[in-house]
Amino acid sequence: MATLKLTVVSAEEGLFEGEVKSIQATGTEGELGVLPGHTPLLTGVKPGIIKFTLADGKEQVIYVSGGFLEVQPDCAIVLADVAIRGEELDRERILAAKKRAEENIVTKSGENYDVMVLKLAQELAKLRAYELANSMLKKY
């Protein structure tokens, strides 16, 4: 089966570089899937997950807080502000941060409302990445 080269980097480090069969991401215009031979594309990436299938059929998940995705027919690059492998996320820390974000929204304390909603969206995306990564670990 055909593959494309995927590179995922954050401002701090490179997280992944290798051949994949498919990529799923949350772009600014919605969910998108990328297969080898995809039409060139440049889009913003919202807080969420980058899920990809390796050449051997195994799946991996990386949480991204935002950034950009560039796609060419034979390669794709994710440039993320923050990127964390799903299996490296800490569930308890995520739940505590999610609770703080929810409380800040309810009490309207701290930063402006849009920033508080963004923080909650990031924590929910981290939780989804954690859960997906752990379900995949059990699968393999």
Dump pLDDT digits (tens) for 17-73.
Answer: 999 999 999 898 899 999 999 999 999 999 889 999 999 999 999 999 899 999 999
DSSP 11-64: SS-EEEEEEEEEEEEEETTEEEEE-TTPPPEEEEE-SEEEEEEETTS-EEEEEE
SS3 category, 67: strand
67: nearest Cα among 110, 136, 22, 12: 12
Cβ contact 47:65 at 8 Å: yes
